[in-house]
């Protein structure tokens, strides 16, 4: 069957397949995200001889001092938002992509249109779901942990209590602290991710003469495309994490706070501080995208086979 004959997946398909993919991705990769956040929140200027802690050292400290389940702190906030996040990601990407003209020669849209569709999809999910979800997640991950003052008392019991406390004490707008940086990070991530995955997949299908790839190839392509985004926007993610972790001062704008955080990091910790947590972030995002695309393609394929005639299965790349 030619690619021109395929129809886009329905909104319900995006919701179910994306939600299932996101759930699997969160359960598999959340510990790496917790380690990444702890590394980004650490400060080397606490002592003149403070030594930088690596990925495995931080992970070992968390498990030793807090127990294995500490690696899943903040998971509730992620699980709560993962279904709408993935539904919005895939459905908005397909929607934006559907607005682009199709080349009469190839039957596909241009690479620039795929990139812009991913950019818009990332910004959409950041505003709709990701920012408030991450504010809550980071507050939970940062409190009463092995790299903090042992006398600190946890303020939040769980994701729901954290969200309620943040809104009550700091206002609803606090849930959207860092939304600009989050949108910038998500948009660049998804632009690179979707563009790379789409064209890797098209090349693989053409090279092998297949109509659909086996699951292990979806996993490999998702892994490679997923690693590209974090390498391009690590400083944005580190500044965003510190911005969302702290409480705002009265009368202080977000831009002022961002400038202060960036300047303070550079002054006391050096340029490398902007890339703190890059190893666990790549290790978190790349496998996460591998799981996401593999599960998404698998569930979507099942749903389309169940709900559509043979000639209507699939979707346009």
Which letter, b or e, does each residue of 65-78 get, where b requires 16 or more Cβ atoms within 10 Å of its Cβ? eeeeebbbbbbbbb
Quick one: tokens of 289?
A: 């995208």
Q: Residue 277: which region, alpha, beta or left (left: phi > 0; alpha: psi -120 to 50)? A: left
Query: Looking at residue 171, what DSSP letter applies?
Result: -
Helices 159-170 and 131-142: crossing angle, nearest 10°?
100
Q: Please name the residue ranges forming H helices in 173-213.
A: 179-208
CA–CA separation, 29 and 132 (whole Å): 20
At residue 168 the predicted structure's pLDDT band, cuts being 50, 70 and 90, is very high
Tens digit of each residue's pLDDT (9 = 90 or more) over 196-208:
999 999 999 999 9
Q: Which of 79, 76, 64, 88 is nearest to 22 (CA)?
A: 79
At residue 43 the predicted structure's pLDDT band, cuts being 50, 70 and 90, is low
The domains located in the chain, with CATH, are 11-147+154-209+284-307 (1.50.40.10)
CA–CA separation, 116 and 120 (whole Å): 6
φ/ψ of residue 21, rounded to 5: -65, -45
**pLDDT of the residue at 164:** 92
Q: How far is CA 94 from CA 11, 46, 98, 263, 286, in A?
A: 10, 48, 6, 39, 22
**pLDDT of the residue at 303:** 87
Q: Is the pTM of this model over 0.75?
A: no
Contacts of 80 (CB under 8 A, 6+ apart): 133, 159
Tens digit of each residue's pLDDT (9 = 90 or more) over 62-91:
999 889 999 998 888 778 777 788 888 988
Is the pLDDT at 105 greater than 60? The verdict is: yes
Residue found by looking up tokens 């500490």 in the block:
70
């Amino acid at each position: 069957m030619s690619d021109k004959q395929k129809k886009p997946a329905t909104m319900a398909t995006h919701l179910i397949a994306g939600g299932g993919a996101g759930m699997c991705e969160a359960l598999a990769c959340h510990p790496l995200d917790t380690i990444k956040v702890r590394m980004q929140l650490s400060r080397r200027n606490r002592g003149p001889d403070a030594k930088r802690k690596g990925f495995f050292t931080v992970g070992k400290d968390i498990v030793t001092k807090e127990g294995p389940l500490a690696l899943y702190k903040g998971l509730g906030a992620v699980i709560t938002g993962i279904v709408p996040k993935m539904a919005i990601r895939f459905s908005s990407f397909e929607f934006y992509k559907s607005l682009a003209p199709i080349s009469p020669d190839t039957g596909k849209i241009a690479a620039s249109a795929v990139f812009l569709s991913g950019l818009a999809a990332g910004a959409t999910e950041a505003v709709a779901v990701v920012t408030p979800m991450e504010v809550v997640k980071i507050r939970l991950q940062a409190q009463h942990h092995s790299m903090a003052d042992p006398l600190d008392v946890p303020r939040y019991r769980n994701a729901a209590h954290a969200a309620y406390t943040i809104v009550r004490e700091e206002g609803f707008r606090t849930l959207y602290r860092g939304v600009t940086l989050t949108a910038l990070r998500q948009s660049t991530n998804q632009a690179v991710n979707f563009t790379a995955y789409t064209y890797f997949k098209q090349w693989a299908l053409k090279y092998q003469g297949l109509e659909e790839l086996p699951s292990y190839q979806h996993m490999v392509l998702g892994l490679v495309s997923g690693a590209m985004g974090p390498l391009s926007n690590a400083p944005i993610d580190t500044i965003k994490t510190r911005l969302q972790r702290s409480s705002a001062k009265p009368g202080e704008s977000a831009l002022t706070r961002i400038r202060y955080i960036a300047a303070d990091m550079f002054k006391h910790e050096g340029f490398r501080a902007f890339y703190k947590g890059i190893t666990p972030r790549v290790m978190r995002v790349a496998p996460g995208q591998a799981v996401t695309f593999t599960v998404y393609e698998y569930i979507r394929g099942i749903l389309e086979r169940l709900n559509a005639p043979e000639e209507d299965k699939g979707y346009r790349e």
